[in-house]
Amino acid sequence: MPATIVVGTQWGDEGKGKLTDTLAKEMTMVVRYQGGHNAGHTLVVNGEQFKLQLVPSGVLYAHITPVIGNGVVVDPRVLIAEIAQLTAKGIDCSRLKLSGNAHLILPYHQQLDALHERYLGKNSLGTTRRGIGPAYADRAMRVGLRVQDLLDPKIFREKLEVVLHTVNPILAKVYNRLPVDAEAICQEYLEVCGPQLAPYIADTVGLVHDALDAGEHILLEGAQATFLDLDHGTYPYVTSSNPVAGGACTGSGIGPLHISEVVGIAKAYVTRVGAGPFPTELFDEIGDYLVDTGHEYGTNTGRRRRTGWFDAVMMRQAVRLNSLSEIAITKLDVLDGLDTVKVCVAYEYEGERMTSMPYHQSVLHKVKPVYAELPGWKTALTEATEEHQLPPAALDYLAFLEEQVGVPIRRVGVGPGREQFVERSRT
Ligand code: GDP
Ligand code: IMO
Ligand code: MG
């Protein structure tokens, strides 16, 4: 009856899709527990690339039941398009299950997301403009529409009327925009999306527990990451859900005693898309090297990612927030060309050394990273399949990270392909 969580430990795009796909080999079910189509999870199998936004990353395996949990916010139009794209590539999506309790993203959520970002101007968060924040806000206000409402036109219309009672005046009086065309939404959502998604809509909490009761091993796939978490991230530069391991329980409907492992995933350096503090950010040619070599452009929005050195201070905080039992490091191969590699081991603020993250955001904005500098390996790692094939300097780098963070690194990514994970021995 165990459940394993895959959680991002930085600011997203660590390779959660790839790790989920790798671990899913041994599982029967993969549950996405939060976020929406702000996520972009990439899988590369036999050279073919799959970019998933809502469909869980286990979908490529015939033995996996992919589940979109209650904690996810779903734009049904995007989900339908994603299913169609996967089906066109020969992937059978018929096993997909969609929680009836998941909340819907409606067109005005996207409009409000974009309008709010525009209003913020130079202080904008750099959201993906997918309507994630406004959809979760409606959920918290208890005026949200849920996936199950697609199956009940009367309820759908009633709820839409209630929410538009406040949304329309906001659009008109605050943003000088036209009111929402409720009939157009009803037509698209009830007449087009509802019937197409009906076969997938299910009591996913029941299905998850049936699997656990049958002794099956399930995987809970996080989107976004620890420092984009609404409670624990660099607020307000965060997303509107709880990617941390605790969110996996609420977002899938299981209690914490079912969790047997929490696998944290981190890049061998750090990236961030959108605004917010980033202590180890690089503005020099090494930052450009990481962007170019790591192809650091958003999977979803195409935006250039900000890059920086690995931050062990953040990672120690991620260990605490998620109870990490092990770590997977991805993109070690991206550092192959560097003479030396740096790791931030502490922060300095007003002459004081800090080894844990300051709780006060104003301090985090001003800290200076304290680096340890290690020799590079100047060897291509992409062909490595076993630990002993990694050069000593790369192994030393991993050992240094482990020592800094205090949790074993069990897997190391050396390329985007499904098979490009080197497993490390359990000592
Ligand atoms: P996710 O959102 O956490 O699933 O990550 P993304 O898919 O947005 O971004 C990770 C990117 O890195 C994708 O393009 C992956 O194909 C790629 N990737 C994952 N692991 C590795 C690795 O070990 N090495 C290299 N070079 N690329 C990787
Ligand atoms: P995956 O799952 C990286 C960032 C956005 C923005 C902030 C809020 O692929 O790792 P939102 O649209 O969620 O309201 O935006 O969060 N963001 C991500 N950054 N990877 C993601 O997902 C992200 N999802 C949201 O860039 O800074
Ligand atoms: Mg991504």
| Helix (H) / strand (E) containing 279 | none
Residue 298 CA to ligand 2 center (angstroms) comes to 9
Q: What are phi and psi of 125, to 5 degrees?
A: -80, -20
Tell me the C-alpha distance between 410 and 415, whole Å.
16
Q: Please state the pTM of the whole predicted model.
A: 0.97
Strand partners, 281: 308
What residue spans define the domains of the chain?
2-98+208-260, 101-195, 265-421
Same fold, 2-98+208-260 and 101-195: no
Domain 101-195 CATH assignment equals 1.10.300.10: yes
Q: What is the pLDDT of residue 309?
A: 98
Q: How many whole angstroms from its chain centre is CA 289? A: 24
Q: Is the pLDDT of residue 62 over 90?
A: yes
Q: Is the pLDDT of residue 202 over 70?
A: yes
Q: Within 6 Å (CB) of ligand 1, which residues are found?
A: 8, 12-18, 39-42, 44, 299, 330-331, 333-334, 413-416, 420
Helix (H, G, I), strand (E, B) or coil at 291: helix
pLDDT confidence tier of residue 300, bands split at 50, 70 and 90: confident
Residue 225 CA to ligand 2 center (angstroms) comes to 8
Closest CA to 263 of 69, 421, 51: 421
pLDDT confidence tier of residue 353, bands split at 50, 70 and 90: very high
Q: What is the DSSP letter of 296?
A: -
Q: What is the DSSP letter of 1?
A: -
Ligand in closest contact with the CA of 38: 2
Alpha-carbon dihedral of residues 263, 269, 273, 276, nearest 10 degrees? 100
At the topology level, CATH places domain 265-421 in: Adenylosuccinate Synthetase; Chain A, domain 3 (3.90.170)
> pLDDT per residue over 153-173, tens digit each?
999 999 999 999 999 999 999
Give me the half-sphere count of Cα atoms (radius 13 Å) on the Cβ side of residue 157.
Answer: 9
Yes or no: say if 55 and 92 are a contact pair by the CB < 8 Å rule: no
Ligand in closest contact with the CA of 267: 1
Q: What is the pLDDT of residue 427?
A: 60
For the annotated catalytic residues, the residue numbers are: 13, 41
Q: What is the pLDDT of residue 1?
A: 61
Give me the half-sphere count of Cα atoms (radius 13 Å) on the Cβ side of residue 259.
Answer: 23
> pLDDT per residue over 91-147, tens digit each?
999 999 999 999 999 999 999 999 999 999 999 999 999 999 999 999 999 999 999
Which of the four CATH numbers 3.30.470.10, 3.40.440.10, 3.40.50.720, 3.40.1130.10 does domain 2-98+208-260 have? 3.40.440.10
